[in-house]
Structure 1
Amino acid sequence: MRLRYITIVTLILCWTTAAYAQQYDLVIVGGTPGGIMTAIAAAREGKTSVILERTAHIGGLPANGLGATDIATRGATTGLFAEFIGHVRQHYVTRYGETSQQVKDCSDGFHFEPSVAEKVLEQMLAEQSAKITVLKMRQFDVENENIVLKNDRIEQITVLNRERRNTEAYRGRIFVDATYEGDLGAAARVPFRLGREGKDEFNEPGAGVVYKYWHGAEGAGSTFQGDNAVQSYNYRLCLTNNPANRVALQKPAVYNRAEYTSLIEDVWTGRHTGAQMEKVTAAMLEENRKHIAQGNPSKIPGDVWGIARISNMVTLPNAKTDANNQHMAFISTDLPEENWPWPTSGWAWRDAFAQRLRSYIEGLLWFAQNDKELPEHFRKAARAWGFAKDEYTDNGNFPRQVYVREGRRFEGLYFFTAQDATARIPGQRPVIHGASITASHYALDSHAVRKREPGRVHLDGFLSYPSQVYTVPYGVMVPKDIDNLLLPVPVSGSHIGFSTLRMEPCWMALGQAAGVAASLAIDRQVKVRHVPVEELQRSLVARQATLIYYQDVKPTDADFVMVQTLGLQGYLPEWKARLADIADAETVALWEKASGKTLTFTPGRTTRREVLQQLYTHP
């Protein structure tokens, strides 16, 4: 009798929670750019969304210091990302004038201040306010009690309201994990990977344990074996040398000088981790020490001076910088090894590490500016820089969010590796995915996984290898089993494959595709893995999203849709469509064979555009 009573009470409680759960078409966990673009794209399809953001600010890393956009080929990724950078540029034009230094420094919208990124993203959301609800200070924890799964569908999730300290329930038709960590996907029990695959698994460059000079060859100690190591995190600092807007750096309350002392010898000798060191002798290092002692900066090739020794800085508008980890240094703002537990830890651990990382970075900056064992003129050069007074005014002018470069990587319908981003034949494209939902381009790029080790030329795992503009298939964000979950940020891929996908332009494009895909799944009443990809692609291309990149066809061109469609079908495998060129008989014959159509063609007169128009069938 008691068991029956408990069962009835449990059913009543579950019914009550469900009854009071807020309902939306899409429930999006994470106010990152990927999550924001998901909501905007869905809103344009008439769907309602709620964005559940853990912090008091939306925008993810672009709103937290990543102001130098990571994209190797401008124009490879467009759609909502292009709208974002267009709004950024317009902000500077409106406020400062077309010919201003700020407009020049914004680099056509690709470089921006953190506060401007947040403002632009807030404005883009506000344009869809009738369909999008943004709720901040909402925390999702990976616990069984916070997710209701039934028949391979997520029915409801529960989050903590961090201000009121109460829980709130949300029900949706489609759920989206837009977190850097992949917390929602983990709660839904989607299989995921952590750490590094070995080279023996996918034959990827840089896989496993690798030591190499920056831009140099792989060296001693490289075993290429897989392990559980996670690439390091840092904060992307917003620094300035403008005295009117500069906040002096303070010594943190928790300061351990011993962590930074290896920098002293690096500065005095000029030793660094770049490939130039292959030609630097011990005698040159000692000669450099004497040169520095005479009041000069380092003369070792590739060495840098002052604050740049520990921070790689890119100019942003208004005399600010995006200050990232220094790739050429043994010690910088990254903190390897200590972040390994982050992807699967709870928020209590993450918050403690975030404070540890902040103290570490503040201590490093203080050390560079003040430690008396460093050259005086080095310290003076470093002291020219400080935090920007008008950024992060509610957080001591320090970024609010850790740069989580890599969290969980889910195993979806398609598993992306380095082979998808590199051409098998030099000069040609990587594999063209017919199910592409965006083109993108960045190097295969990973930061260190271990701290400095004696005798090594660089930190383990700190690497970069070239890639080419590639296509990204829909399956990277689709789980194999959960029917109503999309993963546009913690996508499916190897450590090396993910290392190029993990850039905000690509995440914005994947978010846009997720919003459209979710809408189609709702409208067609199908599982997300059964969304008609061709229909998804037509919608994306109609919104000027680039699914396959051509150097000579832009989204605003009249033939853009035709070229995108035929390109993904394999008719245009080269980097240029050459629409105005005269068609040659060999190419026309290949197109006829591929299509099964007889094409009208006059040698020496008919253009490639005219032939392609015969192949292209409007939807």
Structure 2
Amino acid sequence: MKLLSSLVALAFLISCQPKNTSDYQADLIIYGGTSAAITAAVQAKTMGKSVIVVSPDTHLGGLSSGGLGFTDTGNKSVIGGLAREFYHRIYQHYQQDSAWKWQKKEDYGNKGQGTIAMDGENRTMWIFEPHVAEQVFEDFVVENNLEIHRDERLDRQSGVIKENGEITQIQTLSGKTYRGKVFIDATYEGDLMAAAGVSYHVGRESNATYGEEWNGVQVGVYQHRHYFQNNISPYVIPDDSTSGLLPEISSEPPGQNGEGDNRLQAYTYRLAMSRHPDNRIPFPKPDNYDPARYELLARVYAAGWDETFEKYDPIPNLKTDTNNHGPFSTDYIGKNYAYPEATYEQREEILKDHTEYQQGLLYYMSHDENVPDPVRAEMANWGLAKDEFVDNNNWPHQIYVREARRMVGAYVMTEHDVLGDKEVPEPVGMGSYSLDSHNTQRFVTKEGFVQNEGDIGVHPKNPYSISYGTLVPKKEECTNLLVPVCVSSSHTAFGSIRMEPVFMILGQSAAAAASLAIDNDIPVQEVKYAELKQLLLGEGQVLSQQD
């Protein structure tokens, strides 16, 4: 009897012990802090699912809150659901007089991409300041009581546990574990997808892979103005090949047109810059600043190029979302190839290199005598916005990962789908932007001049549907994972899909599918499309041009 009493007492004590605070469980585990991650979490909560967002970042929203305020939208009529709600809330914010601190609302030009920025008829706004976007995401978190675990990086070596083709648990570097019924990888890099053993591709496929025209190497294709329009020498001493190449030029041959390679379209930071004297700080001079690094730009200027400020796109309050423009600009061409597969430490070095390049470029354009006087005079009116990214020295907290890993899943979107040459099965959202790739390399032509390669801009005739199969792996590889950002697509198709509104759309659709898979205890590949379609249409998603 005494032994029995002791055992009962021990059992009672064990039951009263606090739960291990490093172990978490929910119906749906979302890895990532991007815009897709947040829309996915909101959708799952509305369907009654428990959700934990495991974010490797502190700030939520990815590029949507990280500087990309001049939204790449394409045809706005196909943006529905929570994505449209996001842009509606942006509109509501800028209807308040308090939103216009540095500029009068009536003085704002209302310029957007192909349309007005502030659409009163549809009560949406597509152009915004980074901190406003971040607040909208944080409002989503509070209103939906979302559980967000920030600064939690996946243990990519041994942190993903699978049993019988399912992910059962992931672990972060801090030692926290997360068990779920379904998982979503909403990162730009596809780290969870890769660690789960799902097939993916990095770089450009050959045109032969999917019978495409615009994939692979594209030497001599100039569909934007991001190329050298004059014959400019790439050598330290002009026209003397024995003097060595200038910085930022590759010594490797570009390859044959149409063949695949591991090159990625360039990354950049989308800067929030201000021209209000009370809300700008001078461009910082990086520690390793070397003006010789920008000699190629000096030669571009000397040849007569004068388009420096054509992509200083206006956002409210006398700010700009500054994007790459021209042959030598903020895109750091050829320096990101290793990023997708790199360790966290290696990625930090790559990001530091990108930061120093771009900060050095701004300082050079502001100070160096080789820069034309009118450019330096205009640069004097600009600086980093003092009220943006205040915890990161006013520098964006998210680099523009235009492309990293891309899943090879149940269905691969190609340029044939995007350009309307075939019917897309089981649509879960729509896109409409051009096949858009920035340059992937800067090389020396056979004539001995410098040139860029990789820039593509082919416009679809109409908006196109995106298949559910692009969100799910092959069934034999994983049955409880969805991937709404690093979707299953070719390089050319991803160039159109990779827009922030589309990521929000696909995040919501992925979570709806995940919830149905949980309800029916089935693999994500077996979700009944008719049921998913009805659900998505009820949530305001636009799935095809007939909707």
* Structure 1 residue 544 displacement after superposition: 1.0
| 2:517 aligned residue | 521
Q: Which structure has more RCO (C-alpha within 8 Å, separation ≥ 6)?
A: 2
Q: CA contact under 8 A between 2:118 and 2:126: conserved in structure 1?
A: yes
| 1:421 aligned residue | 418
Match of 2:376, as an amino acid?
R
* Structure 1 residue 95 displacement after superposition: 4.0
Does 1:136 pair with 2:150?
yes
Aligned to 2:96, the other structure's residue is in SS state helix
Does 1:450 pair with 2:441?
yes
Does 1:544 pair with 2:535?
no
- 1:36 and 1:190 map into 2 onto residues whose CA distance is 23
Does 1:438 pair with 2:429?
yes
Q: CA contact under 8 A between 1:18 and 1:169: conserved in structure 2?
A: no
- 1:515 and 1:221 map into 2 onto residues whose CA distance is 41
| 2:50 aligned residue | 48
Per the alignment, do residues 250 and 20 of structure 1 end up closer, same or farther by CA in structure 2, a change over 3 Å counting? Answer: closer
- 2:450 and 2:366 map into 1 onto residues whose CA distance is 26
| 1:530 aligned residue | 526
Q: How does 1:40-119 map to 2 (within 5 A)?
A: 40-96=42-98, 100-101=106-107, 104=110, 106-108=117-119, 109-119=125-135
- 1:125 and 1:94 map into 2 onto residues whose CA distance is 22
Match of 1:205, as an amino acid?
E
* Structure 1 residue 102 displacement after superposition: 5.5
* Structure 1 residue 47 displacement after superposition: 0.6
- 1:217 and 1:96 map into 2 onto residues whose CA distance is 39
* Structure 1 residue 374 displacement after superposition: 2.2
- 1:187 and 1:374 map into 2 onto residues whose CA distance is 47
Deviations 1:269-296 (A, max 9, x none): 224xxxxxxxxxxxxxxxxxxxxxxxxx
Counterpart pick for 1:351 among 348, 351, 356: 348
Deviations 1:47-104 (A, max 9, x none): 1111111122111001110011111111112111100000000011134489644694
- 2:88 and 2:290 map into 1 onto residues whose CA distance is 44
Q: CA contact under 8 A between 1:240 and 1:386: conserved in structure 2?
A: yes
Q: How does 1:18-417 map to 2 (within 5 A)?
A: 21-96=23-98, 100-101=106-107, 104=110, 106-108=117-119, 109-129=125-145, 132-143=146-157, 145-160=158-173, 166-211=174-219, 212-215=221-224, 223-271=257-305, 303-305=306-308, 308=309, 312-326=311-325, 329-417=326-414
- 2:58 and 2:367 map into 1 onto residues whose CA distance is 34
- 2:64 and 2:443 map into 1 onto residues whose CA distance is 29
Does 1:466 pair with 2:500?
no
Higher helix fraction (1 or 2) = 1
Q: CA contact under 8 A between 1:96 and 1:102: conserved in structure 2?
A: no
- 1:269 and 1:20 map into 2 onto residues whose CA distance is 60
* Structure 1 residue 125 displacement after superposition: 2.1
Q: CA contact under 8 A between 2:159 and 2:170: conserved in structure 1?
A: yes
- 2:414 and 2:73 map into 1 onto residues whose CA distance is 18
Q: CA contact under 8 A between 2:54 and 2:148: conserved in structure 1?
A: yes
Aligned to 2:340, the other structure's residue is in SS state helix
Deviations 1:389-416 (A, max 9, x none): 1001111111011111111111111001
- 1:398 and 1:359 map into 2 onto residues whose CA distance is 11
- 1:437 and 1:269 map into 2 onto residues whose CA distance is 49
- 1:256 and 1:133 map into 2 onto residues whose CA distance is 45
Per the alignment, do residues 469 and 456 of structure 1 end up closer, same or farther by CA in structure 2, a change over 3 Å counting? Answer: farther
Match of 1:464, as an amino acid?
G
- 1:81 and 1:530 map into 2 onto residues whose CA distance is 26
Q: CA contact under 8 A between 1:335 and 1:451: conserved in structure 2?
A: no
Per the alignment, do residues 443 and 373 of structure 1 end up closer, same or farther by CA in structure 2, a change over 3 Å counting? Answer: same
* Structure 1 residue 479 displacement after superposition: 0.6
Deviations 1:178-220 (A, max 9, x none): 0000000001000111111112222323211113223489999
* Structure 1 residue 435 displacement after superposition: 0.5
Q: CA contact under 8 A between 2:226 and 2:327: conserved in structure 1?
A: no
* Structure 1 residue 229 displacement after superposition: 0.8
- 1:456 and 1:225 map into 2 onto residues whose CA distance is 22
Match of 2:153, as an amino acid?
Q
Aligned to 2:57, the other structure's residue is in SS state coil
Q: CA contact under 8 A between 1:141 and 1:347: conserved in structure 2?
A: no
Aligned to 1:124, the other structure's residue is in SS state helix
Match of 1:155, as an amino acid?
T
Q: CA contact under 8 A between 2:263 and 2:440: conserved in structure 1?
A: yes
Counterpart pick for 1:475 among 469, 480, 484: 469
Aligned to 2:192, the other structure's residue is in SS state helix
- 1:501 and 1:377 map into 2 onto residues whose CA distance is 38
Match of 1:207, as an amino acid?
N
- 2:286 and 2:353 map into 1 onto residues whose CA distance is 10
What are the ranges of 5 or more consecutive residues in structure 2 without an aligned counterpart? 1-18, 112-116, 120-124, 230-253
Aligned to 2:513, the other structure's residue is in SS state helix
Q: CA contact under 8 A between 2:484 and 2:510: conserved in structure 1?
A: yes
Per the alignment, do residues 210 and 103 of structure 1 end up closer, same or farther by CA in structure 2, a change over 3 Å counting? Answer: closer
Q: CA contact under 8 A between 1:477 and 1:487: conserved in structure 2?
A: yes
Per the alignment, do residues 519 and 362 of structure 1 end up closer, same or farther by CA in structure 2, a change over 3 Å counting? Answer: same
What are the ranges of 5 or more consecutive residues in structure 1 without an aligned counterpart? 1-16, 161-165, 272-302, 425-430, 550-562, 565-619
Does 1:501 pair with 2:497?
yes
Q: CA contact under 8 A between 2:22 and 2:175: conserved in structure 1?
A: no
Per the alignment, do residues 374 and 101 of structure 1 end up closer, same or farther by CA in structure 2, a change over 3 Å counting? Answer: closer
- 1:322 and 1:188 map into 2 onto residues whose CA distance is 36
Per the alignment, do residues 546 and 101 of structure 1 end up closer, same or farther by CA in structure 2, a change over 3 Å counting? Answer: farther
- 2:413 and 2:65 map into 1 onto residues whose CA distance is 27
Q: CA contact under 8 A between 1:331 and 1:452: conserved in structure 2?
A: no
Match of 1:56, as an amino acid?
T
Deviations 1:333-374 (A, max 9, x none): 111222101001111011111111111100001111111122
Query: What TM-score do you get using the length of structure 1 for normalisation?
Result: 0.75
Q: CA contact under 8 A between 2:407 and 2:487: conserved in structure 1?
A: yes
* Structure 1 residue 516 displacement after superposition: 0.5
Deviations 1:572-610 (A, max 9, x none): xxxxxxxxxxxxxxxxxxxxxxxxxxxxxxxxxxxxxxx
- 1:216 and 1:241 map into 2 onto residues whose CA distance is 26
Give the CA RMSD over aligned residues: 2.3
- 2:399 and 2:455 map into 1 onto residues whose CA distance is 19
- 1:27 and 1:104 map into 2 onto residues whose CA distance is 39
Overall identity of the aligned pairs, in % = 36
Q: CA contact under 8 A between 2:217 and 2:259: conserved in structure 1?
A: yes
